[in-house]
Amino acid sequence: MLTLYHHPKSRSTRMIFLLEELGVPYTVKEVDIRRRDGSGALDPANPHPHGKVPAISDDGVLVFESPAIALYLTDKFPERRLGPQVGDPGRGAYLSWLCYYSGVFEPAFVSKFMNSEVPRGTAGWVAVEEVMPALLAQLSHGPYLLGESFSAADVLYGSALAMFSKSPLLPKSALVEEYAQRVVARPAYARAVARQGG
């Protein structure tokens, strides 16, 4: 059985979204996390090495980091067609954009939020101003990040972009807004929001 370690209104809601898209059985174990305002506590029930969410356990196999969980689940359930499999020419783009999410996309926004310059030649990521043209070029093949088919990569990018749609951190773009709305309009997203608690 798949168990998702989850905290309401956090990055783990996206994994409920993905599990709902997959339509597979899973249980949600709600855990506490340490929050920015100092509230919350490290929860011994959470197997994530830093007490973060999401993490999943698949009959005792632990997977953490959102892109790794996305890849693990779409590989485990290939018949659900939510991620190109080994041998599919689309696999390269899928792996690249999944890793880009946590290696470049999120760090770029955190750097911007912290008003911290991204040191060229040192940081493995780039500034938001460089991320956006790359993302827009990829989204221009739409309607989804990988083209015609919705994938687990859209679960990550679409929900993050929808969440930041009103933030000054995200440069205004009709293409991005339409994409994010397309992703969060999916019934599985609504089911995830209803199920997330909090």
Burial readout 72-107 (b: 16 or more C-beta within 10 A, e: otherwise) = bbbeebeeeebbbeeeeeeeebbbebbebbeebbbb
Least CB distance from residue 141 to ligand GSH, whole Å? 25
CA 108 vs. chain centroid, Å, equals 15
Cα atoms found within 13 Å of the Cα of residue 9, Cβ hemisphere only:
2
For residues 59 and 47, the answer to whether their CB atoms sit within 8 Å is no
User: By CB under 6 A, how many residues form the interface with ligand GSH?
Assistant: 12
Please tell me whether residue 102 binds ligand GSH under the rule CB under 6 A: yes
Please tell me whether residue 33 binds ligand GSH under the rule CB under 6 A: yes
- Closer of 124 and 187 to ligand GSH (Cβ): 124
Segment near ligand GSH (CB under 6 A), from 49-57, 86-94, 124-132, 168-176?
Answer: 49-57
Q: Among 36, 55, 147, which Cα is nearest to 94's?
A: 147
Tokens 């679409």 label which residue? Answer: 158
Given 17, 18, 21, 54, the residue binding ligand GSH (CB under 6 A): 54
Lay out the site mask for ligand GSH across 58-77 (x = CB under 6 A, - = otherwise): -------xx-----------
Given 52, 109, 135, 159, the residue binding ligand GSH (CB under 6 A): 52
Distance CA 148, CA 146 (A): 7
Distance CA 101, CA 159 (A): 12
Given 4, 22, 53, 135, the residue binding ligand GSH (CB under 6 A): 53
Given 3, 10, 165, 173, the residue binding ligand GSH (CB under 6 A): 10
List interacting residues with ligand GSH (CB under 6 A): 10-11, 33-34, 50-54, 65-66, 102
